Amino acid sequence: MTYKRFYPPFLVIACTLFCVFTGHAQADFIGKVAEWKAKFPKEEVVANVYQEVINFSLNATPAAGEAAVKATVSSETVLVPLKDFLKYDDGLFYNEEQSIENIKVLNPDKKPVVIEKLCGDYNSENVFHSDAKVCMVKFPLAEKGKPFTYTYRENYHDVKYLTSFYFYQHFPIAERVIRFNIPSWLEVDLREFNFAGNVIEKTTVKDGDTTRITFRMLNAPAYKNEPHSPNHAISYPHIICVTKAFTDKGKRTVLFENVKDLYGWYSSVCADIGNDPGLLKAKVADLTANKKTEQEKVESIFYWVQDNIRYIAFENGIMGFKPDAAQNVFKNKYGDCKGKANLLKTMLTIAGFDARLTWIGTSDLPYDYTLPSLAVDNHMICTVMLNGKRYFLDGTEEYIALNDYAQRIQGKQVLIEDGKNHIIDRIPEFLPDRNKESFTNKMSIQDNIIAGTATAEYNGESKIMVQSAFAATKNDKKSERLSSFLRSDNGNIEISNISNSDFNDRQKPLVLKYDYKASNQVTKTGNELYVIMDWEKDFGNMEMPADRKNDYEFNQKYYQATQTELIIPEGYKVDYIPEAFKKSTTSWSFEGAYVNKGKSIMYTKTIKISQPILKRADFAGWNTFISDINKFYNNQVILTK
């Protein structure tokens, strides 16, 4: 929704380099190669210096809707190869609010290097239409230890789009410098995020009418792409630049001084959407006909938009912030978050409800509305006022019920339109119980094969995941896919006689019942049977690798409850059952127990994970937790004749 300094992580080296000549000497770094190899053993290139310098100027002829302040970000990167004769690839991203110019590379002799440059539209499978563009830059590096200086300048035509500056990149940096040259006529607020645990030096120097604020970090490691990594903004040190106001010819003009100003700009962008409610009235009347309560009417409209309007991502200039007209989204049967929110608002308003556009930053962002910046939001929803309560409707979610909220927006602040005013509220946050998965099994042993019946009940995120996957499966593959899901792709398990509740019911839990047979879970030795009653071993393989660099983000909060009853075979008795095990912290817990009931053994297990992000600082404690779980899992029931 908003334009941020974000670039895709898959490019070969760095994707966030910005530009200036600062006169760093072209020293020979051969003597540093061994040291850098030892410090960064998996890297091929090190930046001895990566410096960004940000300058501001007045724009005498701003385009319509643009602020009269612009900015340039000048970058200089001194690249040092740790191997001979590498090819350096880079991607410089921009859009219609930005431009890239003066791309240059100097070799160790300070002579220009011929670079390959291909600039054009950037396409992503996740974005239907975008004004994003990319310049792919390639050039050769010489012998290891020989420095190349890579520079360019990025222009921001409107300073409001200048937001984030990150210290870590996709290559290690010996000296990382971010410098803001702030003129006396401009009021700037530099917000620091995730600085704790990082040694970042900040200096402020007054030079005539300019204040130079410099941030400096030494030996910044490369950012590592790893599965389930939280968004950069959650964990990595960065600065958000907020341009509050400027003074020109004695007149002070406010830009983004507080959330009121941010809302004012959002509101102005959405003032002339061009909605035509008349084209939607017949559909609204059809959806609300025969609905007995106001809540049923809201649900009918909300669920129809979820089911019938396909979500796409659309980012193109001001359209990154401005919703498409409701009738266009309705006719096209697709829209982005803004388009779907605006369609919901328009349809609900036609039906007589008080519905409002609402801005929100998802869980990918650590900000709230004390930060008046375009960086604070990346999503739009609709709020409807009903019976004295606010319901937050996210049209981009699938199978979400009214008054239920996805993990990605729970607990987040929202900015609700209110004419010339605004309302700040917060999405409710749920405990792991919302996502409860419960499994009940009754099993017996037949010729060393476990056979049984099971019932699985899904709620919250777990339920929506199953519903979405089932809906996306072709009809002739649904049974096969469901069977594969229930046996967790375990070749030892055979599933049959599946029955299910309504997959389209948003309000009730999803319930699956089935029969199963499990081979290779019983071992017969003489007069003894060794029985595995829990072959799922949930989370048993979730130990964090020692070399993982990033925090780990779970798909959701978890609450899993299992109850399994094993009927003791005729002629056998219980010789051994594992001891009960219980361990808990404020973020996760496990409780498991076996109980001898005479003719059967009752096994129960409960797992809770209440924090969606596992911090690196907690990896050691987590791994101990998983190790203890596995010790419990690896114990078996022993039956003897």
What's the token pair of residue 570? Answer: 């005729």
| Cα–Cα distance for residue pair 220/199, rounded to 1 Å | 10
- Flag whether 17 is in a domain: no
Give kind and range of the element (H or E) at residue 269: helix 259-269
The whole-number pLDDT of residue 314 equals: 57
| Cα–Cα distance for residue pair 226/224, rounded to 1 Å | 6
Query: Taking a C-beta distance cutoff of 8 angstroms, is the pair 222, 171 a contact?
Result: yes
Same domain assignment for residues 249 and 285: no
The whole-number pLDDT of residue 8 equals: 34
- Flag whether 58 is in a domain: yes
Query: Taking a C-beta distance cutoff of 8 angstroms, is the pair 72, 133 a contact?
Result: no
Global pTM reads 0.89
Burial class, 114, CB count within 10 angstroms (exposed 0-12 / middle 13-18 / buried 19+) = exposed
Give me the helix-helix angle, 294-308 and 281-288, nearest 10°.
120
Q: Which of 268, 270, 244, 246 is nearest to 256 (CA)?
A: 244
| Cα–Cα distance for residue pair 431/454, rounded to 1 Å | 26
Same domain assignment for residues 98 and 217: yes
Q: Which of 483, 361, 358 is nearest to 4 (CA)?
A: 361
Q: Which of 350, 335, 343, 334 is nearest to 288 (CA)?
A: 350
Q: Within 10 A of 126 (CB to CB), how many other CB atoms are there?
A: 9
Amino acid identity for residue 102 in this structure: N
What's the token pair of residue 579? Answer: 């001891």
Same domain assignment for residues 71 and 105: yes
| Cα–Cα distance for residue pair 468/315, rounded to 1 Å | 25
Q: Which of 138, 12, 149 is nearest to 77 (CA)?
A: 149
- Flag whether 123 is in a domain: no
The whole-number pLDDT of residue 64 equals: 76
The pLDDT averaged over each successive group of 10 residues in the chain (641 residues) is 34 33 57 90 93 95 84 95 88 77 91 83 49 78 92 92 94 96 97 96 96 96 93 95 96 96 94 93 96 97 96 58 92 93 98 97 95 94 96 96 96 96 97 97 94 97 94 92 92 95 95 96 95 96 95 96 97 96 96 97 98 96 97 96 92
570-584: b (≥16 Cβ within 10 Å) or e: eebebeebbeebeee
| Residue where a domain terminates, one of 398, 426, 454 | 426
Q: Which of 141, 30, 18 is nearest to 77 (CA)?
A: 18
Same domain assignment for residues 317 and 456: no
162: left (phi over 0), alpha (psi -120 to 50) or beta: beta
Same domain assignment for residues 414 and 437: no
Which segments of 228-321 are extended strands (E)?
238-248, 251-254, 310-311, 314-315
| Residue where a domain terminates, one of 426, 452, 469 | 426
Same domain assignment for residues 523 and 445: yes
Residue 593 sits at φ, ψ, to 5 deg, of: -160, 150
| Cα–Cα distance for residue pair 48/172, rounded to 1 Å | 9
The whole-number pLDDT of residue 4 equals: 34
What's the token pair of residue 589? Answer: 């817990």
Residue where the block lists tokens 């004295």: 388
What's the token pair of residue 209? Answer: 């009418």
Same domain assignment for residues 193 and 227: yes
Same domain assignment for residues 350 and 498: no
| Residue where a domain terminates, one of 254, 272, 302 | 254
| Cα–Cα distance for residue pair 187/257, rounded to 1 Å | 9
Query: Taking a C-beta distance cutoff of 8 angstroms, is the pair 46, 172 a contact?
Result: yes
Residue where the block lists tokens 């056998």: 572
Domain count, the chain: 3
CATH number of 154's domain: 2.60.40.3140
For every residue of 572-619, which 3-state class applies, written as one string?
CEEEECCCCEEEECCCEEEEEEEEECCCEEEEEEEEEECCCEECHHHH
Residue where the block lists tokens 């979405």: 468
What's the token pair of residue 210? Answer: 């300019």
The whole-number pLDDT of residue 19 equals: 36
CATH number of 411's domain: 3.10.620.30
Domain ranges, residue 626 = 433-640
Q: Measured in whole angstroms, how far is the alpha carbon of residue 126 from the centre of its chain?
A: 13
- Flag whether 613 is in a domain: yes
Query: Taking a C-beta distance cutoff of 8 angstroms, is the pair 54, 72 a contact?
Result: yes
Same domain assignment for residues 391 and 483: no
